[in-house]
Structure 1
Amino acid sequence: MKTQFLGALLLILSITSLHAQNLVIKGLVQDDLSKDPLIGAVVVNQKNNNYTVTDAKGNYTLEVDYEDIILIKMLGYTTLSIKAKEVGETISMQQDDYVLNQVIVSASRDAQKREEAPMAITSIGATMLEESKVQSLEQVINKVAGVVMADLGSEQHMMAIRQPMSTKSLFLYMEDGLPIRPTGIFNHNALNEMNMAVAQNIEVIRGPASALYGSEAIGGAINIITKTPSLVPTAKVQLRGDSYGYQRIDAVVEGSTNDGKLGVSVGGYSAKRENGYLDHSDFDKTILSAVLQYQVNESLKLTSNTTYMKYYSDMGSSLDSTSFYDRDFTSLHNFTKREIELWRSTFTVDKVWSENSKTVAKAFFRTNTLGQIPSYRIKNDWGNPAVAKGEVNESSFQSYGGVIQHNQKIPSLKTTIRIGASIDYSPTAFWANYIDVDRDETGRYVGYTETDSVLSDYQTNLLNTGLYAQVEVNPVDRLFITAGVRSDHFKYDYKNNLDENAFSGAPNSINYFNAVTPRIGATYTLLNGLGFYANYSVGFMPPQVSELYRGVKVPTLEPSYYNNAEVGSWYELPKGLGYLELAYYNMNGENEIVSVLQDDGSYENENAGSTNHEGVEAALHFKPIAQLFLRVGGSYAEHTFEQFDTGTEDLSGNTMANAPNWVANMELTYKPKFLKGFRAALEFQKVSEYYMDNQNTKKYEGYHLFNLRFGYQFKGFDTWVNIMNVTDELYATRVSKSAWGENYNLGAPRTFQIGIGYTISKNK
């Protein structure tokens, strides 16, 4: 009896001991930077491969043994390995910009894996944005292979993506998938209207994306994605400045209610520069965004996003060759300027009907006023060298519109269908008056007098409606085929307030434009991480309002079309060492608008041009050890005129101006184990020589720059020092040549940027 009792006691103790090894772990998985909950993160027990997936609030529950090793995985994040007994209530995951299989949204207006999108697209993640500590967007966008964003100062810029550096409407700029300006009134500086302080990530599409987004997405598209409110209360403030009078303060406050249903985020920055390295280059910008998100239930989410900005900048002149090489950075102008005031609001409804069915609807409102005394409009009066002529002008618009897209998965056919529609109604106005400009004895433009001479005064009501559809099929494992088409319809309703004898004397008129743009492509990924893609796509650009109505009689113009074919490949290096991407493209532009000399001596815009754009792009992200990161990106491209006759000269066969063949950007980052939170990075950027003019008479030698970045994070504090243009190279971000001479847009000399920030959240 005693033996039986002792055996039972040992059995009970054994069972109790075994149960003591069981453990139920639960908690929250969140983004380390934003504190946003991560939905769909996989929590795996390494011993038996049992796993669970985080829910809509980032929560999970998993039963494990006390000594088990737990892995937490998610696309775009560094995998974590933690002992079960050491798992806390909150697990923070770091974004990894060296992971290939990131989740992207710009390729389909919905989340999908990068390897499913048959196009050249790069996602600049929150880690790169946060660690670069950029003062303007070109300092991070130029890290993308094949992209040159030319800095024109005061957050102004030109862009070159599969096109020369240009002010033409060849690039689409978006915020959360919506264009920030209506079609027809493109502004090459439009990215200075973005709020960098609340950007979660930036996606850069290279090549036409008109089949999804419509006009102007030709050379490429840039989509800046706003971060959503964090789950926990968080506040961040950053102060920064540089050695040339730049000062800026960033602030973000965000959080959600305890049940996670209501989230609020308010953030922005105020920046200014006084007495910079270039004369007459002061600027002042204040921008603020507010995001309100409400999760009505598990299937319905409402989001509003509102941004207000007020911007002022001096508009100094570019430099001639003598001033540039003598380092005489005196501006010829002391009163030219640019002012912007804008407001834009978006309201989004996300409705999940079922696991396979989802609808997203966005309604938007935009108002924007841009006033200028532009330096580039000032022309000398050759009859009287003491005076010149210029203008003061203002363009404005209001926009009302929306986009709706439905995504339907058909699992039995391994197919996803996306259909959508958009409408944008934008009343616009433009006026310009002559001004008399005074010159001093040195030739500087030092003042002006307003006149009652009106150059332009008109309104144009723009209406753009579009329908699109995209089908994605996964017929066999690892093969994805995508086909899409979009139909756009434009109505330009023009009213001139001046008579036919005015500078802009075009009669009242209504112009219609229509375009159909297809896209088809496929991707295939082998088991060893080697993948391939190919696509054919068409981009289009309707005439701009200024091409139709400013200073001309109304010409007969049609949209310009760009046909693009490309192939590409990627290879995910083994053991998480990084990845390699390659792309080859060939794009032909047809029906391009050219100012052609007429028999009566006047010029008229005509669809008379064609161009060819061909290039190879490559990017390598390499992580040989945990502490060392190498990023290499570059491209070789040729941009040529196939047929381009203006009536006075034939440019056919010439290389296009401002089109460097070679572009490269490389960066080596070191994060030592022995000093956690410290980072150091060395960046190299090269832009090769290019022709200054379309006549191919002279070249600019290009430039190469070195930048150093140091940063240190400790608990909630973050400090940094960036040394830009370490070698103090004299360079120009863009050089052009005309009958009036050479014009150099000065690049920044050696600049020391310093900053300090502090983030406080419930988790810290």
Structure 2
Amino acid sequence: MKRIFLVLLTLGQMSYGQNSIKSDSLPARHIEEIVVTASRMASSKHEVPVAVSKLSQKTIAETKAVAVYEIINKVPGVLMVNLGNEQHSMAIRQPMTTNAYYLFLEDGLPIRPMGVFNHNALLEINQFNLQSIEVVKGPVSSLYGPEAVGGAVNLLSLKPSAVPQLKLGTQFDQFGYRRFQTAGSAAIGKLGFHVAGLSSLQKNSWMNFSDYSKDNINGRLDYAITAKTRLIGTVFYGKYYSDMTGTVNEKDFYDRAYKSSTDFTYRKSDALRAKITLEKDWGEKKQSFFTLFTRDNKLGQNPSYAIKWVQGQTTAKGEINSNNFKSYGALLQHNQSISFLNSSFVIGSLLDYSPVDYNAYQIDLKANLNPDGQTVSSYEIIAERPDIKLSDYEAEIFNKAGFFQLTVKPTEKVVITAGGRYDAMSFDYENHIDGASGTKRFDQFTFKSGINYNFLSWAGYYGNYSQGFSPPGLTSVFRAKSGTGGTTGVPAEFYYNLKAAEFNNYEIGGWFRFFQKKLNIEYSLYYLEGKNELLSIKQPDNSTDYQSAGKTRHKGVEFALYYCPNDQLRIRVGGTTAQHTFIDFKVSDKPADPVKNLNGFEMPSAPKWTANSEINYYPVWLSDFRASVEWQMVSSWFQNQVNTVKYNGYNVFNARLGYKWKDFEWFVNAINLTNKLYAYNVTRGNAANAVPSYTAAAPRTFVFGMQYNLSLK
């Protein structure tokens, strides 16, 4: 492989190859990927004993995604579930879930502090500021701490360009979506800067009551103090507001009557993140990084998913909540290579102090029933009840951690990795509902070890053992149990005894290259055991009871094939087959309930097969033209925990065309090309008469756009 010049930025979490864009434009050549997320330092993908995928800037630029899930779903073994208006859940070595089993990173730093997980965190991301995306599958708690169980998604930001650049773009669809975006970058002497912003607006879409707006801006300054010392500052600010459509009932779904049952639910976010990093090169392959960071988030909701309704009744209950936090933290990391056995190590520590406050109160609703009397046509607000508190607490979260990883290369073909991390997460709390106060603490040491054996120039494999853990989120701990508090006359009870979930992962994988590196195959097999998982039990009124005493098993095979027969074609085939099973999950003590435990049952929303494949065409007879067809497949899954009803899954095709002429680029994306009727998720309760809820997918959508790219070379 030819020389690749690497600049490690932001605590070693960002890597850029000066040749990367040019190399990626040659589809018939495979350039060995350099990744940073898997080891916190720049490493060859084939020298880290984990399943890691990298989405390049070229892939991001050609996808022209409205939402990040369109890009991330290209990673084999990953299903990022679209919940509408850039809201999402995730499935990486887990069922489709909103549980805190994924870590979302921005340039190597968690977007949110531990204990304040939000499955929608990536809706804050500026799609026009992405250099690349790296996805590590499986537990990486030994490097990144709690919540990095199913995997970690690291979004790497653009850095200042060596020459002045200006980008202006717009994209829109036939359903009222509009987005404007701009970016500028330059270097003046020792100072470089980059600014990127976007503004999105959705009005009068295919689903009624589904408007949203999003405004983001990112800024970055790089200052070279000396040739070996750099100062880097970044800032992000974003505002988001969305109608929360929620799900539709079965009849409306199959009639394609895309109507929301509410016209008052919403989600809004106001987010600020900033950091400043001092980088120091002490010598060849010896660097230190010190970062100070802050976060300031305000999240407010009147959530559609929190509406509690008993089938057949004409009244219901909802809630309004707000979740606000600030963070002040520091991260110190040192990377160094040593001559003994061609070794290298990473050592670091983290301190994160995050005060948080949360408030939720009840709203009384009227349920207007459909003629069948079993489903709801619409809800109306009767009264807001701030006097009925569902949750009301303040907490100060302290996350303290130290981590270490050693990599030894005793021979040219063998790489051995071992590392660990100790996390001491605690929070001082005051529960304003029951007057309780105190401290809860979750201490955990997580370990990983692995080996890479690249026994041939065209083949290699790896194996690893890794641990992961995830403490319960504060919103679960301080949620009043169903049937207590409020106007029930029963003192409010809370989930103070929830435990941290713990995971053990066993994994092997490998890679092959054939036909002068034109055909590349990657695979991984994993076996993930979980205990004390935070398990949710749906109640008849749609409320949730929590347990952290369950055991689960997750096992599967992930695979990817990349074939570039010539400079005109790129073929990608990727997917996973998996099983997600309850091993120990007690759901009821009631003698009348036919199912009292789910031992051996499949977990709901857990398709056994998912795949995403794509053919890209770059004709030599029409320079700067591109075309692609993408296939997304999700097999059937159980809608409920008791495994009585399945949804059949879906097959969907997307097509993308683009053409560049001088400094201009035009494109059109056809999403859901065949206008298939399908749902991203379908769920229902465990009762025999429970009705399903459909998260409807959009009909065929055409996204048009134009972009102006000016570079003063």
2:148 corresponds to 1:220: no
Farther-moved stretch of structure 1 (411-420 vs 339-348) = 411-420
Opposite residue 271 of structure 1, the aligned amino acid is S
1:469 aligned partner: 404
Q: 1:481 offset after TM fit, Å? A: 0.6
* CA displacement 1:10-51 (0-9 Å, x = unmatched): xxxxxxxxxxxxxxxxxxxxxxxxxxxxxx963xxxxxxxxx
1:391 alignment partner, SS class: strand
* Offset at residue 732 of structure 1 (A): 0.3
Distance in 1 between residues matched to 2:561 and 2:548, nearest whole Å: 40
1:576, distance to aligned residue in structure 2 (A): 3.4
Aligned to 1:515: 444
Which AA in structure 2 matches 1:581? E
- Structure 2 residue 704 is matched with structure 1 residue 754: yes
Structure 2 equivalent of residue 425 of structure 1 = 353
Contact 1:358 1:406 in 2 (8 A): yes
Amino acid at match of 1:668: I
1:389 match:
317
Matching of residue 179 in structure 1 with residue 126 in structure 2: no
Q: Secondary structure at the match of 1:475?
A: strand
Amino acid corresponding to residue 98 of structure 2 in structure 1: T
Question: Does residue 667 in structure 1 map to residue 602 in structure 2?
Answer: no
- 1:603 & 1:391 partners in 2: Cα distance? 14
Deviations for 1:684-728, whole angstroms, at most 9, x for unmatched residues? Answer: 110000111111010000000011110001221111011111110
Indicate which of 661, 674, 677 corresponds to 1:730. 677
SS at match of 2:692: strand
Output the CA distance in 2 between the equivalents of 1:316 and 1:198.
Answer: 28
Matched, 1:401 2:329: yes
Aligned partners of 1:363 and 1:401 also within 8 Å: yes
Query: Which residue of 44, 54, 59 maps to 1:128?
Result: 59
Gap regions ≥5 residues in structure 2: 9-16, 371-376, 481-492, 590-595
Bigger drift between 708-717 and 641-650 goes to: 641-650
- Greater C-alpha Rg: 1
CA RMSD of aligned residues (A): 2.3
Question: For 2:325 and 2:155, how far apart are their aligned partners in 1?
Answer: 22
Give the aligned partner of residue 451 of structure 1: 385
Which whole-Å deviations, capped at 9, do the CAs of 1:439-472 have from their partners, x for residues lacking one?
Answer: 5576412345323414122101111111110000
User: In the TM superposition, what is the alpha-carbon distance from 1:268 to its structure 2 partner?
Assistant: 1.6
| Corresponding residue number in structure 1 for 2:223 | 294
In the alignment, is the contact (CA less than 8 A) between 2:21 and 2:57 conserved in 1? no
CA 1:424–1:98: 2 relative to 1, 3 Å: farther
Q: Does 1:614 align with 2:555?
A: yes
Cα 1:538–1:576 change in 2 (3 A) is same
The offset of 1:100, in angstroms, is 5.5
Aligned to 1:343: 272
Which residue in 2 is equivalent to 1:679? 626
DSSP 3-state at the match of 2:58: helix
- Per-residue Cα deviation, 1:411-457 (whole angstroms, up to 9, x for no partner): 24311011110111110000112223345576412345323414122
Q: Find out whether 1:366 has 2:295 as its counterpart.
A: yes
Report whether the alignment pairs 1:460 with 2:383.
no
Q: Distance in 1 between matches of 2:709 and 2:200?
A: 20
Counterpart secondary structure, 1:474:
strand
Show CA shifts across 1:620-645 (max 9, x none). 11100111110000111011011111
Listed as ranges, the matches of 1:340-739 within 5 Å are 340-380=269-309, 385=314, 387-439=315-367, 443-455=377-389, 456-499=391-434, 507-551=436-480, 552-594=493-535, 605-648=546-589, 649-738=596-685, 739=687
Q: CA deviation at 1:138?
A: 0.9
**Native 8 Å contact 1:244 1:277 kept in 2:** yes
Separation of aligned partners in 2, 1:583 and 1:381:
44
Q: TM-score, normalised by structure 1?
A: 0.85
Distance 1:346 1:675, change over 3 A: same
2:96 is paired with a residue of what secondary structure?
coil
Return 630-639 or 642-651, whichever deviates more. Answer: 642-651
For 2:587 and 2:630, locate their aligned partners in 1 and report how far apart those are by CA, in whole Å: 42
- What secondary structure sits across from 1:218 in the alignment? coil
> Is 1:103 the equivalent of 2:34?
yes
Q: How many residues align?
A: 674
Counterparts of 2:174 and 2:352 in 1: how far apart (Å)? 44
Q: Is the 8 A contact 2:26 2:567 kept in 1?
A: no
Distance 1:77 1:645 in 2: 53
- State the AA in 2 paired with 1:635: T
Corresponding letter in the other structure for 2:627: A
* Residues 616 and 76 of structure 1, relative CA distance in 2, 3 Å threshold: farther
SS at match of 1:546: helix
Aligned to 1:200: 131
- For each residue in 1:161-215, what CA deviation from the matched residue of structure 2 results, as whole angstroms up to 9, or x when unmatched? 0100001001110000000001111111111011111100000011000000001
Give, in angstroms, the shift of residue 408 of structure 1: 1.6
Contact in 2 for aligned 1:408/1:416 (Cα 8 Å): yes
Which amino acid counterpart does residue 571 of structure 2 have in structure 1?
L
Sequence identity (%): 39
Is the contact between residue 301 and residue 320 of structure 2 (CA under 8 Å) also seen in structure 1?
A: yes
Distance 1:587 1:362, change over 3 A: same
Ranges in structure 1 where 5+ consecutive residues have no aligned partner = 1-39, 43-52, 58-72, 80-92, 501-506
Contact 1:100 1:572 (8 Å CA) reproduced: no
Cα deviations across residues 338-376 of structure 1 (Å, max 9, x unaligned)?
Answer: 110010001111111111321111211001011111112
Offset of residue 151 of structure 1: 0.4
In structure 1, how many angstroms separate the alpha carbons of the residues matched to 2:205 and 2:495? Answer: 43
